[in-house]
């Protein structure tokens, strides 16, 4: 994973996502803030499940699903809090 500062406290995280033996590059913005005692990271990763051959309920693969369709985009929210410790 590579982190590039885009502005202020926001970093663009670049990585390769692998699922079911299929790999695609991906990136997401992450806001990183620090205090004297903690580090906070907040981010959301979005990827298209159809790119990894996940077909169940996908309108990308089936035309006749009507209101039973399941969106292909998957969003994963991440919020991390780490305490700083003296070593």
Task: Name the residue range of residue 48's domain.
Answer: 2-83
Stretch 50-68: mean pLDDT, rounded?
A: 79
Residue 11 has pLDDT above 70, yes or no: yes
Rg of the Cα atoms in the chain: 17
* pLDDT tens readout for residues 22-34: 999 999 999 999 8
pTM above 0.85, yes or no: no
In the beta sheet, which residues pair with residue 24? Answer: 17
Q: Which residues contact 28 (CB under 8 A, 6 or more apart)?
A: 12, 13, 43, 44, 45, 46
Domain containing residue 42: CATH number: 2.40.128.110
In the beta sheet, which residues pair with residue 69? Answer: none
Stretch 10-30: mean pLDDT, rounded?
A: 91
- The tally of domains found in the chain comes to 1
Task: Report the mean per-residue pLDDT for the chain.
Answer: 87
């Amino acid at each position: 994973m590579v982190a590039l500062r885009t502005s202020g406290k926001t970093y663009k995280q670049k990585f390769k996502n692998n699922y079911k033996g299929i790999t695609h590059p991906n990136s997401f913005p992450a806001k990183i803030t620090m205090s004297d005692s903690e580090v906070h990271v907040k981010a959301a990763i979005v990827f298209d499940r159809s790119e990894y051959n996940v077909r169940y309920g996908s309108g990308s693969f089936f035309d006749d699903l009507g209101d039973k369709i399941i969106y292909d985009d998957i969003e994963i929210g991440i919020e991390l809090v780490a305490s700083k410790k003296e070593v």
